Amino acid sequence: MRKSIYIFLLVFLPLVSNAQWNCPSKLASYTKPIPYLPIKGGIELTGSGGIIDDNYFGFFAGYAALEYTNKQHGIFIEGGIKTWTRHDNGLDLTYKNGHPGFREAYYQFLNKSTSLRLGIQTITLDDHYLVNDRAAGLNFTYNYKKLSLQIAGGSVTKYFSRNGLFCNIGFVYDILHRDRGLMGNGLGQTNFTALTLSYKNKGIDKGLNKIGIALYDEFGSRIDTNVFMSGLYATLTLPFEIELNPEVLYQNAINNNAILYSIGLRKMFITDNAHRFDFQARVIGSTELDNGAMIRNSFSNLFLGDVIRLEAQDLPLYQASLRYSIPRHSLHFKLQYTSEFQTNGLSEIDFSVGKRVLNQVQLSAIGGYIKSPTLEHGDAFLARIEARVYLFAPQIRKNEK
């Protein structure tokens, strides 16, 4: 029965999924002016449902955003509410929950060379690995000619982090019952500070596009071992327009000294009719300097795989994907494989297809096959459909002015 439903959803619902399970709202890009007010606003509604193994699940979320901008200053606030339910057919049990919360609430200063954000915000470092999370803190960048400096830091809590109560929906169908990462119960318990300094060699077709250094410190009352990482990262354009993103980091932590390696590769083909083939691959591994050392940083949030969501704790690991896009029809297809290197480790293959309708509706469908030694039968199927609707503020007609 479950396989029949999986095939039906995958074949007869030609919709997309690039959506991960960490509330990837794009509402900030879709706010519109509100009549008679000096602010912009927007609403996003998201609903999804599906099946994994013998579990049936559903999810709904509503987000609202307000944006105010005055020259170089701005304020952005986005929050909402989510609710979900999952029924375990084998155990005949139903689980459900709901949470209100904030995704973003920050002040921003922006000019040609400087950017500063203060508040709850998504922070991504200039490197390829270290931080990709939502924190209450600051993110400062300064550009001078070919140099770029970034200083970021903040506190990550379960109330607004990407793996937290409000944003994360992975546990809705997490049949593997995996750890969702370290998060504080309050401000100051799980924190990070980071700095990147990069040299960007702009305007070249081949060679070294960017090289930088990264410094990272993780600390707090809930972090049992303070972690400090430092290293180099780069972006290179190889022959045949292949992009390479290497990074090497040294981790200094008590009884956990180690070296992390991350190598990403990307090649895009664009046909004469503007169709796009985007191939990407990534390998991440580490070398122990202390016996039994593990990579301990908490906020990179690799999220490799829709269900298995591999992280640094699963090293070594790899992922490869091929995405085919038809921009004219706002349509794309994607095939992705994620796996640990060990023979009997976790692995997942996903196929997704998506379509944007009327520029305000994003329809998605994904089918997946998961292998894990912890599953009763050693494998499981996933099928999920999703719809995102962006509701814009009404526009003023010329005769209403």
Is 379 in contact with 370 (CB distance < 8 Å)?
yes
Q: Is residue 125 part of a domain?
A: yes
Position 26 pLDDT exceeds 80: no
What DSSP state is assigned to residue 190? Answer: S
Q: How many domains are contained in the chain?
A: 1
The pLDDT-based confidence of 170 (bands split at 50, 70, 90) is low
Q: Dihedral angle at the C-alpha atoms of 107, 111, 115, 116, nearest 10 degrees?
A: -30
**Tokens linked to 391:** 């509701």
Cβ atoms within 10 Å of 337's Cβ, excluding its own: 16
Position 18 pLDDT exceeds 60: no
What is the rounded average pLDDT for all residues in the chain?
A: 87
Position 37 pLDDT exceeds 50: yes
Average pLDDT estimate for 151-164:
91
Beta strands in 176-302 (DSSP E): 191-200, 207-219, 227-238, 242-252, 258-270, 276-288
Is 138 in contact with 72 (CB distance < 8 Å)?
no
pLDDT of residue 394: 54
**Tokens linked to 310:** 């591999």
**Of 32-36, 166-170, 192-196, which gets the smallest average pLDDT?**
166-170
**Of 31-35, 41-45, 260-264, 325-329, which gets the smallest average pLDDT?**
31-35
Q: Which residues are registered as beta bridge partners of 258?
A: 251, 288
Which residues, other chains included, contact 272 with Cβ-Cβ below 8 Å and sequence gap of 6+? none
Q: Is residue 401 part of a domain?
A: no
Which residues, other chains included, contact 198 with Cβ-Cβ below 8 Å and sequence gap of 6+? 126, 147, 148, 210, 211, 212, 213, 233
Query: Tell me, what CATH number does 72's domain have?
Result: 2.40.160.10
Q: Is residue 210 part of a domain?
A: yes
Position 397 pLDDT exceeds 80: no
How far, in Å, CA of 246 to CA of 265, rounded?
9
Q: Is residue 153 part of a domain?
A: yes
Convert the pLDDT of each residue in 55-80 to its tens digit: 899 999 899 999 999 999 999 999 99
Q: By residue range, what is the domain housing residue 370?
A: 2-395
Nearest to 162 by CA among 152, 170, 150, 151: 170
Q: Is residue 400 part of a domain?
A: no
Convert the pLDDT of each residue in 98-134 to its tens digit: 888 888 999 999 999 999 999 999 999 999 999 999 9
The pLDDT-based confidence of 354 (bands split at 50, 70, 90) is very high
**Tokens linked to 240:** 């045949």
Position 25 pLDDT exceeds 90: no
